[in-house]
Amino acid sequence: MNKGLVIERGRALIGDEFAETTLCTDRALIATVGGGTAAARLDASDLLVLPGIVDIHGDAFERQMMPRPGVDFPLDVALADSDRQAIANGITTVFHATTWSWEPGLRSGENAARLLETIERQRPLFAADTRFHLRHETYDLDAEPTLLRWLAERRIDLLAFNDHMDSTVAALDKPNKRNRMVERTGLSGEAFDALVATVAARAGDVPASVNRLAAAAREANVRMLSHDDDTPAMRQAYRAEGIRIAEFPVNVATARDAAAAGDFIVFGAPNVVRGASHTGWTRAADMIAQGLCSVLASDYYYPAPLLAPFRLAADGVRPLAQSWKLVSEGPATAAGLTDRGVLAAGLRADILLVDAREALRPRIVAVIAGGRLVHITEAARLSSAAGARHSVAA
């Protein structure tokens, strides 16, 4: 007996078009598109029916861990709250982008290990499919043995190579930036400066470490990203290591090099929503208009992936059907997740019901994640197959 859901009377994104149709789920999968029977029904009248958002880079969970400098909360509490925030904003697959830096404190190796262990332990309790995106600061050579072991054990879902050393050194002469970094580490200013000098001296050993880690990731079939590529030569060097996802390339020339080679290109959805990068770098909407972006990520703000496609459509950059792929099909493909990102029979039942009647302010009405109704704000839309209403907590 089918114990799933029938979602009816909504306008669903099927392929490249919106069409009024019916979707039927069976356990964790979409069973049929165009009809079907199930134990419960969701009335999607006046709503859009969209594939769930796949967020391959988000670190907003750090604010739940440390809402103020030096103020820590238990990881299980922080991650449970982050899961609720992600689901409420339509994110059904979330990669927690966890930085392992040479810094102590919030982005230390100890914290990364605790995060991984907590994610693994709590994963069955989360509504979103929660995965581990390890952001490796390449100058942290001491991390390499542990990362090699985690890759061999298949504990890392995405591996990013970050190199913030030049910007860190440059920030030492900028009091505001330096103070934020110092607060994050818990060190004194003098101790932080000394640590930066010690780590920067490792430059000659970094390329060989990147080579070893990339080889291990390829062996483990883990997709890799490079972060803030600033020249075509940098992108080409990472591509030669099998790193085919360019995160936040900082200029058009680098993005064009990535696009010409068929690399995936990630920009931040907050950049689209705000109309500019918070760092003053590339404007994401311009890159999308030029075909130089295939993925939008939450980056530091979970509501942004829901809002960004509607902003792109309203501004005439891309129609909504194409814009939505930047937060669903595009990131799923980049991450190697072939079972989601679109609405089609046989794929994972990650489905959003969205009220888009107010321009630029889409509102999540219901979220189905892995076939389960995990969030609903209008309980009257849910009924049994026989028509009896159920009470569902929003």
Model confidence pLDDT, tens digit, residues 226-249: 999 999 999 999 999 999 999 999
Is the separation of the CB atoms in 363 and 83 below 8 Å? no
Banded pLDDT at 35 (limits 50, 70, 90): confident
Over residues 251-264, the pLDDT tens digits come to: 999 999 999 999 99
- Give the model's pLDDT for residue 2: 45
Q: Which ranges constitute the DSSP H helices of the chain? A: 61-65, 75-88, 109-122, 144-152, 165-171, 175-185, 189-200, 206-219, 232-240, 252-260, 269-274, 284-289, 304-314, 320-324, 329-334
Return the domain boundaries, the chain: 5-51+342-384, 53-334
Across the range 122-129, mean pLDDT stands at 97
Question: How far, in Å, are 17, 25, 135 from residue 164 at the CA level?
Answer: 41, 45, 11
Dihedrals φ, ψ of 54, to 5°? Answer: -110, 115
Q: Token digits for 249? A: 């390339």
- Per CATH, which fold does 53-334 belong to? TIM Barrel (3.20.20)
Question: How far, in Å, are 12, 290, 367 from residue 353 at the CA level?
Answer: 9, 30, 6
Task: Tell me which residue of 12, 86, 85 sits closest to 55, measured CA to CA.
Answer: 86
Res. 7: pLDDT tops 80: yes
Over residues 49-101, the pLDDT tens digits come to: 999 999 999 999 988 888 887 788 999 999 999 999 999 999 999 999 999 99
* Cα–Cα dist 50/340, whole Å: 12
User: Cβ-count burial of 148 within 10 angstroms (0-12 exposed, 13-18 middle, 19+ buried)?
Assistant: middle
Least trusted range by pLDDT, from 134-143, 321-330, 383-392: 383-392
Least trusted range by pLDDT, from 21-35, 45-59, 177-191, 241-255: 177-191
Widest pairwise Cα distance in the chain: 71
Task: Tell me which residue of 319, 270, 291, 273 sits closest to 13, measured CA to CA.
Answer: 319
- Give the model's pLDDT for residue 386: 54
Res. 384: pLDDT tops 60: yes
- Per CATH, which fold does 5-51+342-384 belong to? Urease, subunit C; domain 1 (2.30.40)
Share of the chain above pLDDT 90, in %: 77
Could you give the 3-state DSSP secondary structure of residue 198?
helix
Is the separation of the CB atoms in 59 and 97 below 8 Å? yes
> Would strands 40-43 and 245-247 be described as parallel, antiparallel, or unpaired?
unpaired
- Give the model's pLDDT for residue 159: 98
Distance of CA 155 to the CA centre of its chain: 17
- Give the model's pLDDT for residue 1: 35
* Cα–Cα dist 319/309, whole Å: 8
* Cα–Cα dist 134/139, whole Å: 15
Res. 394: pLDDT tops 90: no
- Give the model's pLDDT for residue 387: 52
- Give the model's pLDDT for residue 385: 62
User: Cβ-count burial of 215 within 10 angstroms (0-12 exposed, 13-18 middle, 19+ buried)?
Assistant: middle
Over residues 335-380, the pLDDT tens digits come to: 999 999 999 999 999 999 999 999 899 999 999 999 999 999 999 9
What does pTM read for this prediction?
0.92
Across the range 164-192, mean pLDDT stands at 81
Count other Cβ atoms within 10 Å, centred on residue 279. 12
Banded pLDDT at 300 (limits 50, 70, 90): very high
- Give the model's pLDDT for residue 83: 97
Over residues 358-369, the pLDDT tens digits come to: 989 999 999 999
Count other Cβ atoms within 10 Å, centred on residue 203. 12
What's the mean pLDDT when you consider all of the chain? 92
Q: Which residue has the higher pLDDT, 37 or 215?
A: 215
Task: Tell me which residue of 317, 277, 280 sits closest to 301, measured CA to CA.
Answer: 277
Q: Token digits for 261? A: 């080679």
Domains 5-51+342-384 and 53-334 share a fold: no
- Give the model's pLDDT for residue 391: 34
- Give the model's pLDDT for residue 278: 67
